A and B are shown apart, each in its own frame.
Chain A
Amino acid sequence: MPTLKLKDGVLTVSADRPETEITLEAWRAGARPEGGRFALVLPNDVDVAEAAEALARVDAVILHFPVFKDGRAYSQARLLRERYGYRGEIRARGEVLRDQVLFMARAGFDAFEAAEKDAPGFAEALSEFSVVYQSAADGALPAWRRRAAARAAAA
């Protein structure tokens, strides 16, 4: 399955996965990547704090959606971005559907394991809303900030 990657609002299809995947257990057991690209695979029931020191060494973190309704990885992604300042790729794996992809992007995901044919639908879903109410990990300005900006511009 390819990976759909989101960068600067544009979704592109990437066929290859250059990263070697490493589990948290392996990391804890002392496995340390040397050279090449690495992705840390985190189940959705671990506290991301446990992965904190690994973050500087990996190119991607893979988070899980065992079923689309299981939304724990949204919190994990926000924590990785907002609390641990992780700037590498955060990739969604599992039941990754067009109807959740905007929430994922807002929570900090920038890569989605999905079929190439899904790309147009994903791109559409990512652009369906032009206003948001709350700040999250995507940097979108919440409505209250835009209101304040509009007031300032009018003054």
Chain B
Amino acid sequence: MYRYDEFDETIVRERVKQFRGQVARRLSGELTEEQFKPLRLMNGLYLQLHAYMLRVAIPYGVLSSRQLRRLAHVARRYDKGYGHFTTRQNIQYNWPALVDVPDILDALADVEMHAIQTSGNCIRNVTSDQYAGAAADEVEDPRPWCEIIRQWSTFHPEFSYLPRKFKIAVTASPHDRAAVKVHDIGLILKKGEGGKTGFEVIVGGGLGRTPYIGHTIRDFLPKEHILSYLEAIMRVYNLNGRRDNLFKSRIKILVNTEGPENFRDQVEAEWEKIRDCDIDIPREEIERIKRYFAPPAFEALPGESASFEAARARDAGFDRWVRVNVVAHKVPGYAIANVSLKEPGRPPGDATAEQMEAVADLGERFSFDEIRVTHEQNLCLPHVRKDDLYAVYQALKEAGLAAANVGLASDIIACPGLDYCDLANARSIPIAQALAERFAASGEEEDLGELKINISGCINACGHHHIGHIGILGVDKKGEEFYQITLGGSGAEDASLGEIAGRGLSSSEVVDAVERLARFYKRERREGERFLDAYRRLGHDAFKGAIYADA
């Protein structure tokens, strides 16, 4: 993975020093809260319902063991002993004291981490495929490109006060695990003519109150031009994006009011003028960054492992965990092991300091010192020998992290909701917990197969309910918490936005309704058909009817 050199290190240290000064000015009263607000927001520090919340960037979701241990240390020393992994592959701490934040940032800088651009109307943490470098289906490793974009976007002088926040995602596989079509910019690395790789550039996707699937504005961009092309898009947006209405200021609104073709023409015209302007980095710098992502020293192993098969035969729990959480690796004898942070009954995405340390140890011992954070709020050990999977599983079990539910109904994505967020209409976490417990207890979860449930506490859609196969949205009905169900969403390569299904439901009704949907699917499905496929075949009304069937 990438390591800072003196230049990267200097930027992060200078940022901490600057922020320390800003906090001191606030604490001394030189700055009012109102004046301090834009400054702290530039560094991921929000004031929430009960306390400050600090969001720390995990660039494209990649962590070393040392970094994860440091996150555990911060959780223990400065928070209440846990942290919350987000759908942006970041981590949030919900209880830091303002006076401690500069020290936290220094502690993070020691391990090459920071909170730069985790909030504010700037280019946020670039996200990517959690299986990068391990997936069998990838064209090339997307992480060097994420790092190149990270550096270019850090403290970009022209694009730090955009109309609105800006999110970029990169994937390199036909199977999209980074939800690139619902980002402000989505990039897909793919092979073009002559076997060269380049980017498909997708612009104007997004969730929130006006969800859109992005439009491809360029089918193939030679990859060495990515920064100048991004700069052209950003400039068109910075100059023309709406600033008079917060809800119309994302790039998706600009793209869709101007029309994707018109928007593309503006970008292409701008790019023609700047493509040779010293923005794109030269080949040797690309190669320098790529070298950090060279594959680890994989052993030559047989594809099958006798000890692994024996353990599966012996231990049914392990066998199920392998079936559900373990994914094929591109190198024979290795596997990708997902670590669920969705133990039923626990807040989705939360991990205690001890759990983080347990995963850090496993990463160090069994996964070439690498850990990933997924945008589904789980963790992942990307390079585990099949021979070691049983040991990994047992250690995870000990740490309370062996839930075998990745991709299943109880692997729910939920925003913080009313428990933490002052914009919320309704609670998200208790609904997620109740649903997860219901599905886990039913024993039918695995049989239901891939079923993505997403919960947002309000229309801002931080829980990405529009792209849940089943989405749940908290709404306010005369001061009471209600929930609206959406059906048929997907954030993957077959992206689609969920459709609203009928009236709002109370918190007790909504859990029953989701269970009825699952039962209806099970009754109607064809062999090998996922929930989403069955929904698409049978149609919205059929599933909508199931929600209210016994009501």
Is the CB of B507 closer than 8 A to any CB of chain A?
Answer: no
Q: Contacts A71-B162, A148-B282: A128 and B17 contacting too (C-beta < 8 A)?
A: yes
Q: Contacts A69-B121, A99-B39, A128-B18: A74 and B7 contacting too (C-beta < 8 A)?
A: no
B residues in contact with A143, CB < 8 Å: 7-8, 11, 151
Q: Which residue of A lies closest to B22 (CB)?
A: A99
Asked if A131 and B157 sit within 8 Å, CB to CB, the answer is no
State which residues 71-100 of A face B: CB under 8 Å.
Answer: 71-72, 74-76, 78, 82-83, 99-100
Report the interface size for chain B: residues with CB under 8 A from the other chain: 39
Q: Contact residue range for chain A? A: 20 to 34
Q: Which residue of B lies closest to A135 (CB)?
A: B278
Is the CB of B14 closer than 8 A to any CB of chain A?
Answer: yes
Is the CB of B5 closer than 8 A to any CB of chain A?
Answer: yes
A residues in contact with B15, CB < 8 Å: 129
Asked if A75 and B285 sit within 8 Å, CB to CB, the answer is no
B residues in contact with A129, CB < 8 Å: 11, 14-15, 18, 155
Asked if B161 and A147 sit within 8 Å, CB to CB, the answer is no
Q: Contacts A143-B7, A143-B8, A147-B5: A72 and B239 contacting too (C-beta < 8 A)?
A: yes
| A91 nearest CB across to chain B (Å) | 17
Asked if A71 and B238 sit within 8 Å, CB to CB, the answer is yes
Asked if A131 and B161 sit within 8 Å, CB to CB, the answer is no
Q: How far is the CA of A82 from the CA of B274 in the complex (A)?
A: 9
Asked if B157 and A136 sit within 8 Å, CB to CB, the answer is yes
Q: Contacts A70-B243, A144-B281: A133 and B161 contacting too (C-beta < 8 A)?
A: no
Q: How far is the CA of A70 from the CA of B154 in the complex (A)?
A: 19
Is the CB of B158 closer than 8 A to any CB of chain A?
Answer: yes
A residues in contact with B121, CB < 8 Å: 69, 71
Is the CB of A20 closer than 8 A to any CB of chain B?
Answer: no
Is the CB of B209 closer than 8 A to any CB of chain A?
Answer: no
Is the CB of A132 closer than 8 A to any CB of chain B?
Answer: yes
Asked if A103 and B285 sit within 8 Å, CB to CB, the answer is no
Residue-wise interface mask of B (227-249) relative to A, using a CB-CB cutoff of 8 A (1 in contact, 0 not): 10000000100110001000000
Is the CB of B288 closer than 8 A to any CB of chain A?
Answer: yes
Is the CB of A134 closer than 8 A to any CB of chain B?
Answer: yes
Q: How far is the CA of A135 from the CA of B282 in the complex (A)?
A: 13
Asked if B239 and A75 sit within 8 Å, CB to CB, the answer is yes
Q: Which residue of A lies closest to B227 (CB)?
A: A134
Q: How far is the CA of A129 from the CA of B157 in the complex (A)?
A: 12
Q: How far is the CA of A60 from the CA of B156 in the complex (A)?
A: 25
Asked if A103 and B152 sit within 8 Å, CB to CB, the answer is no
Is the CB of B526 closer than 8 A to any CB of chain A?
Answer: no
Q: Which residue of B lies closest to A77 (CB)?
A: B158
Asked if A128 and B239 sit within 8 Å, CB to CB, the answer is no
B residues in contact with A133, CB < 8 Å: 11, 151-152, 154-156
| B99 nearest CB across to chain A (Å) | 20
Pairs A–B under 8 Å by Cβ, sample size 19: A69-B121, A72-B238, A75-B235, A76-B239, A78-B158, A103-B155, A103-B158, A106-B157, A128-B17, A128-B18, A129-B14, A129-B18, A129-B155, A134-B152, A136-B157, A136-B158, A138-B157, A144-B281, A144-B282
A residues apposed to B, CB below 8 Å = 47, 68-72, 74-76, 78, 82-83, 99-100, 102-104, 106-107, 128-136, 138, 143-144, 146-148
B residues apposed to A, CB below 8 Å = 5, 7-8, 10-11, 14-15, 17-18, 22, 38-39, 42, 121, 151-152, 154-162, 227, 235, 238-239, 243, 273, 277-279, 281-282, 284-285, 288
User: Which 6 pairs from chain A and chain B are nearest by CB?
Assistant: A71-B161, A106-B157, A143-B7, A103-B157, A144-B285, A74-B158
13 more CB-based (< 8 A) A-B contacts, given A71-B158, A72-B243, A135-B279 = A71-B160, A72-B238, A104-B157, A129-B155, A131-B7, A133-B151, A133-B152, A133-B156, A134-B152, A143-B7, A144-B151, A148-B284, A148-B285
